[in-house]
Amino acid sequence: MEAADIKIDVIIPVYKPDIKFKHLIERLKKQKDKPDRIILLQTIEEEKQGEKNKSLIGEEFIAYAMELEASDFRIECVEINKKDFDHGGTRAYGASLSTADLLMFMTQDAVPADTWLITKLKEAFTEPNIGAAYGRQLPREEAGIVESYTRRFNYPEADSVKTLEDLPKLGIKTYFCSDVCAAYRRSVYEELGGFVTRTIFNEDMIMAAGIIKAGYSVAYVSGAKVYHSHSYTYKEQFRRNFDMAVSQAEYQSVFSGIKSESEGKKLVLQTASHLVKRGRIYLLPGLVAESGFKYLGYLAGRNYRKLPLSLIRKWSMNPGYFREGKGSRK
């Protein structure tokens, strides 16, 4: 199938969006290849009394996005209760609303760098064995030197296609994929049963692992570019890595026997070398501290079943995931 004939829907979970979401929608409308539909999955909150209460934060950006709808630019918004949100389950629900050839997922803070984002991703799927493709994340202008280098480490300039044969060489990176900006071939997605419907993190990597184990390939498309980076505090880095490790502990069938610590060590060492070369030696203590918080969070998450529920909720970025009778702690 030619790229121009491929239908693609963009699915975006949204919760209290800010100006980045506005820019995202504006730039999607300016794409050379427009999406057939944009499906917004808006998370709403509940009052203590149990009545629905839409958060006022960011509501004006949702309204603005809906006003951009046109005959060649369709947008719809579906509400999701906050208590029902799940990284995998919510995206699986969004996928069920689409009939397109490709299911493209983005986060509300990923802003297309140019007008070729969708075109480049669609082109990857002209190769029939590609089951998924993900784009390159560029640091925002305000990103620090460490965060900027991390983006370059994880999202290089060269394209690549990953298969099961790469597992001995790439390890955990074989399954790396990011729903910040990623597309999945519908037929492959449905063949494999779609996203897992309950996971605190890594729904994209779990899906990518299934795709690769089934004999398909995952493409990294460096020409499909979005601006996306974070400035996490040490505490936030701890909590993020805690959740990442929880997902790995819960999905042993995907992650068992594949160490991710070595990739983390490689990133730290290369970042330190980069700082020295750039004459930023004074940033090394901060890098060491940040890396320590990441590793401690990872270790705690891998062993979360041994921790009391109150501490798990305190350390997680998604405490609602660990409701009595729902979070797997066997």
Residue 263 has a pLDDT of 80
Q: Find out whether 61 and 17 touch, Cβ atoms under 8 Å.
A: yes
* 304 alpha carbon, distance to own chain's centre: 22
In tens, the pLDDT along 184-194 reads 999 999 999 99
Distance, in Å, from the CA atom of 186 to the CA atom of 211, rounded to the nearest integer, reads 12
How many residues are listed for the chain in this entry? 330
- Alpha-carbon distances, residue 63 vs 67, 199, 260, 281 (angstroms): 6, 30, 41, 47
Which of the four pLDDT bands, split at 50, 70 and 90, describes residue 126?
very high
Distance, in Å, from the CA atom of 224 to the CA atom of 269, rounded to the nearest integer, reads 28
For the chain, give the percent of residues with pLDDT over 90. Answer: 83
pTM for the whole structure: 0.92
Residue 259 has a pLDDT of 67
In tens, the pLDDT along 221-279 reads 999 999 999 999 999 999 999 999 999 999 998 888 776 667 888 999 999 999 999 99
Residue 195 CB contacts under 8 Å (≥ 6 apart), including other chains: 88, 89, 91, 92, 95, 203, 206, 207
Residue 262 has a pLDDT of 76
- Alpha-carbon distances, residue 14 vs 75, 235, 246, 264 (angstroms): 13, 24, 23, 30
The set of long-range contacts for 122-128, using a CB threshold of 8 Å and a minimum separation of 24, is 122/3, 122/6, 122/8, 122/33, 122/183, 123/3, 123/221, 124/183, 124/219, 124/221, 124/224, 125/1, 125/3, 125/6, 125/101, 125/183, 125/185, 126/1, 126/2, 126/3, 127/161, 127/217, 127/219
Backbone φ and ψ for 78, nearest 5 degrees, come out as: -120, 135
Element (H, E) at 141: none
**Dihedral of alpha carbons 147, 206, 15, 222, sign:** positive
Strands 181-185 and 102-106: antiparallel
Q: What is the DSSP string of 222-256?
A: EEEEEE------HHHHHHHHHHHHHHHHHTHHHHT
In tens, the pLDDT along 26-83 reads 999 999 999 999 999 999 886 544 444 555 678 999 999 999 999 899 999 999 999 8
* 221-254 core/surface letters (b: 16 or more CB in 10 A; e: else): bebbbbbbbeebebeebbbbbbbbbbbbbbbeeb
Q: Find out whether 35 and 8 touch, Cβ atoms under 8 Å.
A: yes
Examine the pLDDT at 1 and tell me if it is beyond 90.
no
What letter represents residue 228's amino acid?
Answer: H
Supply 302's token pair: 């891998």
Mean pLDDT of 76-93: 94
Mean pLDDT of 210-221: 98
